[in-house]
Amino acid sequence: MNTPPLPATSFSRRLLDWHACHGRHDLPWQNTRDPYRIWLSEIMLQQTQVDTVIRYYQRFLERFADLPTLAAASLDEVLGLWSGLGYYARARNLHRAAQTVMSEHGGVFPQDAETITSLPGIGRSTAAAIAAFAFGQRGAILDGNVKRVLCRHQGIEGYPGEKVVENRLWALAESLLPEDAGAIGAYIQAQMDLGATLCTRTRPACEGCPVGADCVARTTARTDVLPTARPRKSIPRREARLAVILGEHGFLLERRPPSGIWGGLLSLPELPEGNPDDDAGWLARRYGVRVLDHEALEPLEHVFTHFRLGIQPVLFKTQATEHVAEATLTWVSANTLEEAGLPTPVRKILGRLNRR
């Protein structure tokens, strides 16, 4: 069941009035027109909750106070501060985008959404949000919160990730923008806040919703089925054995390739499939270390977007020289692990060892 779209002033005005009284107004990245800070927050908030982002955002700005500082930093340092936030392609793209602004835009962040979209890691919705918050540019956004609000309010069926449904949502989002250009930033924030605080994925607080009176999902008791869920697919599981190589200089870590899982991060070397009895020989041939003792550590599981990874870490106490032949290898001491750019499960494994 669908209802005809409401006039933009009706929907947007109610959201703006609600946001003025009940919206979020004191988040660290609000009350500023600085495109760098707004851009940083928008990237960090992708698929990550506000409470988690706040501490990373503040720590990141302490080190990289402005765009030129970020552009001049090493990727290692950027990844180190991002470590634990996940989706590390965001950090790599953030760094590349900062360098692009410096080299191609004279260090001045572009103002229009189309040009912003040309920067690495910035899509249509994120670009529109940056342009609205930093420069008052009029444009619609369509993040997860807004998709949920629009699907429920207008009774739009079909998985929002499908192109035909997404196109319909974009058209609807554009049609509901307020006419007052000066209100665009508040309206964009109001949409985000509504989805984050009231029109939540589960147990939405419909009684407090400013547009609940004519919400299709509410009036037809379908808030539990709208928006339509992603079609279910079985999530494959993979297994990996990781070598925790401990020597007198700390842990031997290996730089991951720049793209792919954990791209650019320092990680534990992955042991080959086959005969575990040859692990010591393989480590000697591959890394030039002599194994003195080894033991299996507590296994753990890490969930990615498209698969689950079962990890069996194995601790190898070794005798090795400080020098390592390959540029991708480095010894990291226990007291500097906190600053290193490590994947979350690797940090957990080494953290457990340190506590032992």
Cα angle: 56, vertex 243, 272; to 5 degrees: 120
Per the annotation, the verdict on 42 as an active-site residue is yes
CA dihedral over 27, 77, 302, 291, signed as positive or negative: negative
User: Exactly one of 42, 239, 254, 322 is catalytic; which is it?
Assistant: 42
The string over 96-115, giving b where at least 16 C-beta atoms fall within 10 Å of a residue's C-beta and e elsewhere, is ebbbbbbeeeeeebbeebee
Examine residue 227 and say whether the peptide bond preceding it is cis (omega within 30 degrees of 0).
Answer: yes
- Which residues have a Cβ under 8 Å from the Cβ of 271 and sit 6 or more positions away? 241, 242, 243, 279, 282, 314
Q: How far apart are the first and last CA of the chain?
A: 59
Q: Which residues pair with 291 in a beta bridge?
A: 318
Identify the burial level of 343 via C-beta atoms within 10 angstroms of its C-beta, where 0-12 means exposed, 13-18 middle and 19 or more buried.
Answer: buried
Strands 300-303 and 308-319: antiparallel
The encoded tokens of residue 177 equal 């923008």
> Rounded distance, CA 284 to CA 282, Å?
5
**Residue 295, helix vs strand vs coil:** strand
> Rounded distance, CA 205 to CA 270, Å?
47
Q: Say what the alpha-carbon torsion angle 148, 152, 154, 155 is, to the nearest 10 degrees.
A: 120
> Rounded distance, CA 93 to CA 127, Å?
14
Task: State the catalytic residues.
Answer: 42
